[in-house]
Amino acid sequence: MIYLKLIIGIYAVFTLVASFQMYKENGERVNILTGIVSFIMVITAIFAGSKTFSVVGIGGLLYYQVAAIWQGMSHHNFHWQHHAVRLVLTCILIAFLIYFR
């Protein structure tokens, strides 16, 4: 579980940085929400137990997926190949979270 926490925690840190960079560029509130979700995931990865991290991690990963699709559709910049790869990776991470909790 520690490696999974590390991988998802790093993913959340990168997403946190990217969300605030995007907020500075376009001022969309969804980027603030993404940053908050990322921050919660990082804190949970560091301090929470396995079951709590699994719940927060699954919720956060699902949020990332929905937010990415929404951003792509709203900016008329939707690339289905990119989102298909994201979906597969998200499903793998969620399966690991469920299996290793």
Span 53-95, pLDDT tens digits: 999 999 999 999 999 999 888 888 888 888 899 999 999 999 9
Query: What pLDDT score was predicted for residue 12?
Result: 96
Cα 59 to the chain's mean position, in Å?
Answer: 9
Q: Which residues contact 53 (CB under 8 A, 6 or more apart)?
A: 1, 5, 44, 45, 97, 101
| Number of domains making up the chain | 1
Is the model's pTM score more than 0.75? yes
What is the residue range of 23's domain?
2-100
CA distance 40 to 10: 13
What region, left, alpha or beta, does residue 93 occupy, with left being phi > 0 and alpha being psi -120 to 50 degrees?
alpha
3-state secondary structure at position 101: coil
